[in-house]
């Protein structure tokens, strides 16, 4: 069965079960993610508030699947008076380019296969957190 191209909004065309974050997607990612992921901004707000309890001087923050670096950017602004190192892990070059423009800190590119395993684990942890708090 041939997969059909579908518009998912913001000029992004995708095939069913074949989502890819190309350079063109990276340009509209921040706008699109807020519309396609329920409570995206609220989740970031909660993370920022919770970070006050965990981020101290000399902390190291790792954002796995950092996309365009939005969360790191917000964390960096919130904790600007502290000595904190930030590491964004993202396999998509278009996302990394935007993240570097958005953030002063270094964004690393890791092997895609390793990151896909880490992203899967991150999703499992998020689901477990949601289920635990339901």
The CATH number covering residue 66 comes to 3.40.50.150
Residues 6+ apart with CB under 8 A from 72: 61, 63, 66, 86, 88, 99, 103, 105, 107
User: What range defines the domain where residue 26 resides?
Assistant: 5-132
User: What does DSSP assign to residue 24?
Assistant: H
* The predicted structure's pLDDT at residue 111: 46
Report the relative pairing of strands 12-15 and 5-9 from DSSP bridges: antiparallel
**How many Å apart are CA 122 and CA 90, to the nearest integer?**
13
Q: How many domains does the chain have?
A: 1
Tens of pLDDT, residues 74-107: 999 999 999 988 888 787 888 888 888 887 655 5
Residue-averaged pLDDT of the chain: 78
């Amino acid at each position: 069965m041939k997969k059909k191209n579908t518009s998912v909004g913001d000029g992004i065309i995708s095939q069913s079960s074949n989502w890819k974050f190309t350079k063109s997607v990276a340009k509209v990612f921040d706008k699109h993610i807020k519309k396609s992921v329920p409570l995206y901004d609220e989740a970031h707000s909660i993370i920022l508030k919770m970070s006050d309890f965990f981020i101290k001087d000399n902390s190291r923050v790792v954002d796995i699947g950092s996309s365009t670096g939005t969360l790191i950017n917000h964390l960096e602004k919130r904790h600007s008076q502290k000595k904190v190192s930030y590491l964004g892990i993202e396999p998509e070059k278009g996302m990394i380019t935007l993240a570097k423009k958005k953030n002063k800190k270094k964004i690393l590119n890791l092997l895609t296969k390793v990151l896909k395993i880490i992203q899967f684990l991150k999703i499992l942890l998020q689901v477990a957190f949601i289920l635990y708090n339901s």
